[in-house]
Amino acid sequence: MPDEAKSVYANPAPLGLIGFGLTTVILSLINAGVLPKGGEPVVLPLAFAFGGLIQMLAGLMDFRTGNTFGTTAFLSYGAFWWWFALLVLLGGHGVLDLSQAGSTIAVTLIGWGVFTLYMWIATFRLAKALWWVFLTLWVTFFLLGFGDLLSAPLVHQAGGWLGVVCGLLAMYTSFALVTNSTFGRTVLPIGAPQGH
């Protein structure tokens, strides 16, 4: 019987995490009031290309490796960035009439928070760094959503600041995974899963 060819796949998680993290940091700096609201159009191409497309590619690569969590996370949050970019782009140019949307966007953000909360529960079996990314993300979604729903700009702004933390945590996790893989040993810790 001939030897089977051994196939080796690169870990797509660092790619998906940096696409998510960098895009999240930039938009969150706008939500926190550090960058001007007028800078939001700068986020749109980043949301399509890096936050959206790159995460979707990472999700498809994770699908190939059988990683259910990575597939679900990267494809979902990649789609989130496309939703956000299309909403701003089409709404800003009058293709979508958002004048009567009311609390729909806020409730959608809360829905993303619910989804992220259940994804966070799954991270209890993953690296501690991912646990922190998903913890800060579901709280960010709730702060942004409830801040808008309750017309509480300080709550929304707090969501922006926590989003910055979340994005930086994702960027660190990507950095650690790439560095550890390149050096073939743990250079930057990501934390063992709970119970290990």
- What pLDDT was estimated at residue 196? 60
Domain assignment present for 73: yes
Residue 73 pLDDT greater than 50, yes or no? yes
* Averaged pLDDT of the chain: 94
**Distant-in-sequence, close-in-space partners of 145: CB < 8 Å, separation ≥ 6:** 106, 107, 108, 109, 110, 111, 112, 113
Can you read off the two tokens belonging to residue 20?
Answer: 């998510």
What CATH number should be reported for the domain holding residue 22? Answer: 1.25.40
Q: Is residue 84 part of a domain?
A: yes
Query: How confident is the model over 113-133, as a mean pLDDT?
Result: 97
Q: Kindly state whether residue 94 falls inside one of the protein's structural domains.
A: no
Residue that has been written with the tokens 């989804």 in this structure: 115
CA distance 109 to 93: 22
Question: How far apart are the C-alpha atoms of 183 and 186, rounded to whole Å?
Answer: 8
- Provide the 3-class DSSP secondary structure of residue 43: helix
97 assigned to some structural domain: no
Quick one: tokens of 167? Answer: 């994005």
DSSP designation for 71: H
**CA distance linking residue 69 with residue 101, whole number of Å:** 32
Q: What are residue 180's phi and psi, to 5 degrees?
A: -65, -40
The rounded Cα 131 to chain-centroid distance in angstroms is 13
User: Would you say residue 179 lies in a domain?
Assistant: yes
- Residues 41 and 14: their CA atoms lie apart, in Å, by 26
**Confidence (pLDDT) at 7:** 54
Q: What is the count of structural domains for the chain?
A: 1
pLDDT at 95 over 60: yes
Does residue 5 belong to any structural domain of this protein?
Answer: no
- Residue 59 CA to residue 73 CA, distance in Å, equals 7
Q: Is residue 33 part of a domain?
A: yes
Close Cβ partners of 96 (under 8 Å, ≥ 6 residues apart)? 87, 90
Instruction: Look at residue 156 in the predicted model and tell me its pLDDT.
Output: 97
Compute how many other C-beta atoms are within 10 angstroms of the C-beta atom of residue 52: 25
What is the band of 23 on the pLDDT scale with cuts at 50, 70, 90?
A: very high
Strand segments (E) across 14-104: none
Do the domain assignments include residue 96? no
Q: What is the mean pLDDT of residues 35-40?
A: 95
**Domain membership of residue 109 as a residue range:** 13-89+105-183
CA–CA–CA angle 66, 68, 74 (5° rounding):
110
Mean pLDDT, residues 145-159: 97
